[in-house]
Amino acid sequence: MNERREKSLRVKDFYQKAKDVLEIRPAAGQTGFSKRIDLSSIQGHSLPIQVWGKREINRIRRLPPEQRKIYLTKRLRNASGLILSEGLTIPEAFKKQVKGEKAALFVTDLPERVCHKRLKALLSVLKSAQITLAGGLLKIFGIGLLILGDSGVGKSESALELISRGHRFVCDDLVQIQINEKGKIVGSAPALSRNFMEIRGLGIINIKKIYGAESICPQVKIDLVVDLKKWREGKEYDRLGLKFPESQNIMGRTVPKISIPVAPGRNIATLIEVACKVFLLKKEGYLAAEEISKKLDRALSV
């Protein structure tokens, strides 16, 4: 499984992940949203997003205008954003300089200490919880399905057929995966490939343009992995499904996995749909192979 860790995060994406945890709201529109947070540089108390409280604001207010400008420039030089705690506001002159430094400005009603503690924990999670996998991601019957498999096995073609059946598309080829603040594994599309899919013979197509906005799912929690493997003559496969499901380790967490051998004549999209249905039934405690096994045991005992 090919994976690559991300080293930075756009402030815009940080806001989406942090707005509920830190209870923040933008205080200067989307200024600074395109800046990137260098996750690899996060060490100790040195954070790329700063939290200011009443003490800091009062200190700045007491400075003469020229010193205030130098001080703000120095403080914001390496900052991607600034959070004003306790619902604080700053004078327009401050706000203008913050915007001039192209730093994002947010405000929260949380106390400074609480906000700083939550921010530090969130950045720690984000720093260790971003990888990129080669695969596709769909939402099928409410399940976040990660499709992995051998090169050329038909992952994109199968995904396209599933989308045409009404299932929702997240991404193709590369999946950006991270652990959110609730500890769940969440997948989304890298910015450059969002809404796009590459199909051999057709080239790159825009799923949103072809199937409509309702066919797109921005991100989804990964519940199940389907691994498509090329059929190998002579290899034995589990026919009853008594070992269902296997497991896939993603960032130290175990996700259920189903391996599907791919051979000419097999409708992979249908098999994937059925695999999702079987997964849902198993969550409810039902497994067909166990039922057949029990019936066989009863027949043999008679």
d(CA 138, CA 188): 10
Select 3-128's CATH number: 2.40.50.140, 3.30.70.1350, 3.40.1390.20, 1.20.810.10: 3.40.1390.20
Instruction: Dump pLDDT digits (tens) for 232-275.
Output: 776 665 554 545 568 888 887 889 998 888 887 778 999 899 88
CA distances from 299 to 101, 294, 296 (A): 78, 9, 5
Predicted pLDDT at 20: 86
Q: How far is CA 301 from the centre of its chain?
A: 51
Whether the pLDDT of residue 218 is over 80: the answer is yes
Predicted pLDDT at 28: 86
Taking Cα atoms as reference points, which of 257, 272, 279, 273 lies closest to residue 1?
257
Instruction: Dump pLDDT digits (tens) for 144-164.
Output: 999 998 777 888 999 999 999
d(CA 79, CA 217): 32
Residue corresponding to tokens 């503690």 = 117
Contact 197, 246 (CB under 8 A): no
Of the listed ranges 175-184, 187-196, 291-300, the one predicted with least confidence: 291-300
Predicted pLDDT at 240: 46
d(CA 145, CA 197): 16
Predicted pLDDT at 289: 53
d(CA 47, CA 56): 16
Average pLDDT, integer, range 169-180: 88
Please, what is the average pLDDT of the chain?
84
Burial of 35 (0-12, 13-18, 19+ CB in 10 A): buried
Provide CB contacts within 8 A for 19, sequence distance 6+.
Answer: 25
Packing angle of the helix pair 65-76, 54-62 (nearest 10 deg): 140
Whether the pLDDT of residue 179 is over 50: the answer is yes
Instruction: Dump pLDDT digits (tens) for 44-103.
Output: 567 889 999 999 988 888 888 889 888 888 888 878 889 999 998 877 878 888 888 888
Taking Cα atoms as reference points, which of 204, 205, 137 lies closest to residue 169?
137
Predicted pLDDT at 209: 96
Beta bridge partners of 257: 225, 246
State which of 39-43, 107-111, 284-288, 292-296 shows the largest mean pLDDT. Answer: 107-111
Predicted pLDDT at 237: 56
Predicted pLDDT at 127: 75
Amino acid type, 159: A
Predicted pLDDT at 295: 55
d(CA 232, CA 125): 41
Contact 29, 50 (CB under 8 A): no
> Quick one: CA dihedral 179, 181, 183, 185, positive or negative?
negative
Predicted pLDDT at 158: 93
Q: Which residues are catalytic?
A: 155, 173, 239
Global pTM exceeds 0.95: no
Domain boundaries defined on the chain: 3-128, 131-292
Whether the pLDDT of residue 286 is over 60: the answer is yes
Packing angle of the helix pair 11-18, 112-128 (nearest 10 deg): 120
- pLDDT band at 298; cut points 50, 70, 90: low
d(CA 157, CA 205): 12
Does the domain at 131-292 match CATH 1.10.1660.10? Answer given as no
Contact 228, 149 (CB under 8 A): yes
d(CA 68, CA 51): 18
pLDDT more than 70, % of the chain: 85
Whether the pLDDT of residue 297 is over 60: the answer is no
> Quick one: CA dihedral 60, 61, 63, 68, positive or negative?
positive
State which of 28-32, 133-137, 204-208, 228-232 shows the largest mean pLDDT. Answer: 204-208
